[in-house]
Amino acid sequence: MPIAARPQGLSDVATARLDRKTLDANFSDLHPPLGPHEARVEADRCYFCFDAPCQQACPTAIDIPLFIRQIAADNRAGAARTIFDANIMGGMCARVCPTETLCEEACVREEAEGKPVRIGLLQRWATDALIETGRSPFTRAAPTGKRVAIVGAGPAGLACAHALSLAGVESTIFEARPKPGGLNEYGIAAYKSVDDFAAKEAAFILSVGGIEALYGVRLGEHVGLDDLRRDYDATFLAMGLGATNKLGLPGEAELENVADAVEYIGALRQAPDLTLLPVGRRVVVIGGGMTAIDIAVQSKKLGAQNVTIVYRRGEEQMKASRFERELAQTNGVVIRTWARPVAIESHAGVFSGVLFEDTHEHEGVLAAPGSVFRIEADMLFTAIGQRGALEALDSAGVEVKDGRIVVDAERRTSVPGVWAGGDCALGGEDLTVAAVEDGKRAARSILSALGVAA
Amino acid sequence: MADLRSDFLGIKSPNPFWLASAPPTDRKVNVERAFRAGWGGVVWKTLGEAGPPVVNVSGARYGAIHGPDRRLIALNNIELITDRDLEINLREIKEVKRAWPDRALVTSLMVPCDEESWKAILARVEETECDGIELNFGCPHGMSERGMGSAVGQVPEYVEMVARWCKAHTRMPVIVKLTPNISDIRQPARAAKQGGADAVSLINTVNSIMGIDLDRMTPDVAIDGKGTHGGMCGPAVKPIALAMVAEIARDSVTRGLPISAIGGVTTWRDAAEYIALGAGTVQVCTAAMTYGFRIVEELTSGLAAYMDRKGYARIDDFRGRAVASITDWQHLNLNYVAKAHIHQDLCIKCGRCHIVCEDTSHQAIVAKLDGGRVFEVNESECVGCNLCVLVCPVEGCITLDHQTQGVDPRTGLAYERAPLPWTAHPNNPAVKAAE
């Protein structure tokens, strides 16, 4: 339902809770980039490990010791090239990867002194300058005449298109939204990707050439999978998750100021002016993943006074990492666990709060003892997971399970000539870095199927 | 509390830390600041003969090697001897010595290589009532092109000759400062002794170019597009200096010749090492030029604490104690066996020990990567070379342990065997010939 400013007293939802200067500061870089000296000093902390654990922990297997050594030796462009060879979205991954559970958790300095090498920030240092140029450092192989259709211009789609292009295979990307980048552009918290970085990165990737991107084209609406299979040598499905889960409570769909977190974040990311974005004085968020954290923290940064995340299980079961949970808490967000919503309440047709019941786990099943409590609020965000909108695949017979496309290790679907990766594929980790790896693997498999040398 | 007082050739100072002849000792204002900070003595920056003053460059005269955090690893300079008027220097030396009678004040000298020049300057320096003179036979840049500095120090006959002149024309103690830019440091040291010098000081700076600017295609410190070799000092030269001090300390000709050690002294430990090799005083420059004079507080307190810990009441109690342990390779015990041991509880699993041994040494560290990433020494291959110990980032994680029981799986020989140096080794052709 739409979000509308309401007069104070009845329900307090307002724009411009904070002045523009404060908003700009609130939505600046979560982790400011390193300067040249910091990068040199940090790079020197790397031990250049044998068979480095950090590299093994990276879903895209970036040669981390090598790129850090290149930084230490004042070869920033070489470092960037090492990163992009393994992960063309190394710039965004440097910003959004949960490094504390991947490379930096594996860093031997984490074991030695509890302070891993700041690999994410070093990766950003290496990649930023090259992306700023907007020019690809890669050279394409001679055209093979092969053409691949890619559905979705998110991390998986762009990574696949880029890898294909290097091998001389041209591709056409069909993207439903008006811009490339997928969740990088529309989903990631604003303070993790400032200065329009997602768009710059997409432009940088596309600058290699050989990739045609069509925007506002939705699979099943403007083009069918059968058309793609007929017109192209291969098809890669990377359209992400098009739908969000619902609470299924009365009022969820009709009431004003009850909003889907994913949609709201998309609007926030595209807002030309954050002072125009209405936000409640008291906000309640239902969910336990990254999206719940993102919407809660961003609500706070927009000026909400009280923000409460309510999750039906315990903190350990939250999909949001410990780092993210702490980020929410240090931003003043309250996390309440072991409670689930039973009713969305309204007063005179306006959302007024949520009634929750306490929960506990009994033999693996969530149970409620019957006690309830109410959180009065001006806005409710639901962030209880996303699922694929895969109706368009039904006619082609692509196997789908749990709302996601079934793929093998090479990211092949059940239908010959059709590959899938990123969030829409089953088994993914819902991470940019995992989507990039999917795109790479699918590209490798497609090249092999088409008889093209990678 | 340990007694740090030093008596070097009869020159007394409250501690053995002297500032070396260099920019920090070029003028009264600096030297008095040093004394106020607690330095035991100074060697006043080298004086030249009377006449028109020396002219220095007016651009960068220092270059450096930095670690990644801009830590200074070495400094080099192309500064000449003092460019101040001789009379001013002599007057200031006299004033400072009078004001600070308990500190050592030695004057460094460099004049053309003829007896009259030395005789003339010595007379003037004696009037200052300073404690002694140091003959600068070391600087590798600038003055050497004019037949002084290392141009003298590299010719033992000249060293002996000038030392002899100085001893003949002054009653002051004479210290000969040696250049390291020579293949056998014992030759000039023997010459100095032969000439009657009371002591040697070493090392002077190491001839060097610190780097090339790859954009300008010049040395990275250049004057109007050109650069020249200079003299390098600082932590990087310490191992060179230690080796040279040790050679002189154990040479049959120069053994017992007093030594004032110079070269990269940065902490008390560096100083203690030189003293263990026989040095009576140590001279410091780069550390002071990096951090200022206050470092002397750490030097004195650290040295005293070490001596207290060890029960050394005076410097002489441990001076020279390490000399006897330094020998020639041929006298090392070839039956001694040590092997690396990795203490798994300290291992952070970086794998550097494995890869360096695998790639560059003896393939003696096995990497077990399945289930746990464990690195273990294969004693059948380990020669005890110490490389793994040195590259391990964790101190004490890998130790080199002396093997005394059982049989070496690498050689099949018992660990416990009588000492066997090369001089008695059956593989030594010279031994066979003697049989």
**CA-based nearest residue in chain B for residue A44:** B68
Judged by CB atoms closer than 8 Å, whether chains meet at B352 and A49 is answered as yes
Question: What rounded mean pLDDT belongs to chain B?
Answer: 96
CA proximity to A190, closest of A123, A273, A99, A311: A273
Judged by CB atoms closer than 8 Å, whether chains meet at A44 and B67 is answered as yes
Tell me the average pLDDT across B355-377.
94
What's the CA gap between B145 and A117, in Å, rounded?
Answer: 50
Supply the ipTM of this predicted assembly. Answer: 0.86
Which domains, from first to last, does chain A contain?
13-28+245-385 (3.50.50.60), 36-133 (1.10.1060.10), 147-242+388-450 (3.50.50.60)
Q: Which CATH number applies to B329-434? A: 3.30.70.20
Residues of A in contact with B373 (CB under 8 A): 51, 53
pLDDT of residue A4: 67
Judged by CB atoms closer than 8 Å, whether chains meet at B367 and A51 is answered as yes
Least Cα separation, residue B64 to chain A (angstroms): 17
Among B113, B130, B139, B397, the one annotated catalytic: B139
pTM across the whole model: 0.90
Q: Regarding the domain with residue range B6-325, which homologous superfamily does it belong to in the CATH classification? A: Aldolase class I (3.20.20.70)
pLDDT of residue B435: 58
Least Cα separation, residue A48 to chain B (angstroms): 8
B285 is a catalytic site residue: no
Judged by CB atoms closer than 8 Å, whether chains meet at A53 and B349 is answered as yes
pLDDT of residue B144: 79
Domain boundaries, chain B: 6-325, 329-434
Which of B69, B346, B348, B361 is best to mutate for the A interface (most A CBs within 10 A)?
B348
Exposure string (b/e) for A215-231, b if CB count within 10 Å is 16 or more?
A: eebbbbeebebeebbee
**CA-based nearest residue in chain A for residue B358:** A50
Taking 90 as the threshold, does the pLDDT of residue B143 lie above it? no
What's the CA gap between A261 and A15, in Å, rounded?
Answer: 17
Residue B150 — very low, low, confident or very high, per pLDDT cuts 50/70/90? confident
Averages of pLDDT over runs of 10 residues in chain A (454 residues) are: 62 91 91 93 96 96 98 96 97 94 96 96 96 92 97 98 98 97 92 92 96 96 95 97 93 93 94 92 96 96 96 94 93 96 92 96 88 96 92 88 94 97 90 96 98 89
**CA-based nearest residue in chain B for residue A39:** B68
Judged by CB atoms closer than 8 Å, whether chains meet at A50 and B394 is answered as no
Residues of A in contact with B350 (CB under 8 A): 47, 49-50, 108
Q: Does B70 touch chain A (CB under 8 A)?
A: yes
Q: Does B351 touch chain A (CB under 8 A)?
A: yes
Residue B141 — very low, low, confident or very high, per pLDDT cuts 50/70/90? confident
Judged by CB atoms closer than 8 Å, whether chains meet at B349 and A108 is answered as yes
Q: Does A111 touch chain B (CB under 8 A)?
A: yes
